[in-house]
Amino acid sequence: MKVSEKKLYLILIILIIILSFGGLFGSLMEPDSALYASIAKNIVLRNDWVNLYVRGADWLDKPHLVFWLAAASFKIFGISGFAYKLPSFLIGLWGAWYLFKFTKAIFDEKTALISVIILLTALHLIISTYDVRAEVYLSTFTFAAIYHYYKAHYRQLHIIAGSLFAALAIMVKGIFVLIPIFAGFIIYWLFTHKIKELIKPKWWLAILLIFIFIVPELYTLYLQFDLHPEKMVFGQTHVSGLKFFFYDSQFGRFFNNGPIRGRGDITFFLHTTFWAFLPWSVLLYTAVIALVKKKNRKEMPPEMIVIWASAAITFLLFSLSKFQLPHYIIIIFPQLAIITSVYLQRLTDKGIKTFTIIQSVILIVVNLLLIGIALYFDFENKYVVIGILVVMLTFSFVKFSPIKLQTLVGRSVCTSFALMIFLYFFFYPSILQYQAGVHAAIWLKDNYPTVRPKVFLFPDAFSFDFYAHGEVEYYWSRESLMRDKEKKDMVLYVPKSELGWLKENYQIKVLKEFKDFHITKLKPKFLNSATRSTTLSSFYLIQFN
- Tens digits of residue pLDDT in 89-113: 999 999 999 999 999 999 999 999 9
Mean pLDDT, rounded, of the chain:
91
Judged by average pLDDT, the poorest of 13-27, 173-187, 264-278 is 264-278
Q: In angstroms, rounded to a whole number, what is the distance separating the alpha carbons of residues 439 and 505?
A: 27
Residue 258 scores a pLDDT above 60: no
DSSP β-ladder status, 537-544 and 491-495? antiparallel
Question: Does one domain contain both 16 and 143?
Answer: yes
In eight-state DSSP terms, residue 224 is: I
Question: Does one domain contain both 410 and 496?
Answer: no
Count of domains observed in the chain: 3
Residue 264 scores a pLDDT above 70: no
Cβ neighbours of 446 (radius 10 Å) = 8
Residue 370 scores a pLDDT above 60: yes
> Of 208, 213, 202, which is closest to residue 167 (Cα–Cα)?
213
pLDDT, greater one: 270 or 362: 362
Question: Does one domain contain both 365 and 271?
Answer: no
Residue 257 scores a pLDDT above 60: no
| Omega of the bond leading into 301 within 30 degrees of 0 (cis) | no
Residue 130 scores a pLDDT above 70: yes
Say what angle helices 178-191 and 135-151 make with each other, to 10 degrees: 30
Question: Does one domain contain both 362 and 260?
Answer: no
Judged by average pLDDT, the poorest of 94-108, 244-258, 387-401 is 244-258
Question: Does one domain contain both 384 and 516?
Answer: no
Residue 489 scores a pLDDT above 60: yes
Question: Does one domain contain both 361 and 439?
Answer: no
The predicted-structure confidence for 399-432, as pLDDT tens digits, reads as follows 888 888 999 999 999 999 999 999 999 999 999 9
User: Phi/psi at 25 (nearest 5 deg)?
Assistant: -105, 160
Per-residue confidence at 373, pLDDT binned at 50, 70, 90? very high
Question: Does one domain contain both 145 and 252?
Answer: yes
The domain spanning residue 519 has which CATH number? 3.40.190
Cβ neighbours of 158 (radius 10 Å) = 18
Question: Does one domain contain both 247 and 390?
Answer: no
Judged by average pLDDT, the poorest of 70-74, 222-226, 476-480 is 476-480
| Omega of the bond leading into 31 within 30 degrees of 0 (cis) | yes
Q: In angstroms, rounded to a whole number, what is the distance separating the alpha carbons of residues 77 and 90?
A: 14
- Cβ burial of 351 (10 Å; 0-12, 13-18, 19+) is middle
Last residue of a domain, one of 433, 456, 480: 433
Q: In angstroms, rounded to a whole number, what is the distance separating the alpha carbons of residues 394 and 411?
A: 11
* Rounded average pLDDT over 493-498: 92
pTM listed for this prediction: 0.93
CB 506 within 8 A of CB 461: no
CB 98 within 8 A of CB 143: yes
Last residue of a domain, one of 284, 319, 345: 345
Per-residue confidence at 33, pLDDT binned at 50, 70, 90? very high
Question: Does one domain contain both 201 and 276?
Answer: yes
Question: Does one domain contain both 139 and 157?
Answer: yes
Q: In angstroms, rounded to a whole number, what is the distance separating the alpha carbons of residues 505 and 492?
A: 15
3-class state of residue 541 by DSSP: strand
Q: What sign for the dihedral angle of Cα 300, 304, 305, 310?
A: negative
pLDDT > 70 in the chain, percent: 97
Question: Does one domain contain both 95 and 210?
Answer: yes
Question: Does one domain contain both 323 and 258?
Answer: yes
* Rounded average pLDDT over 115-144: 96
pLDDT of residue 213: 97
Which domain, by its residues, includes 368? 349-433
3-class state of residue 324 by DSSP: coil
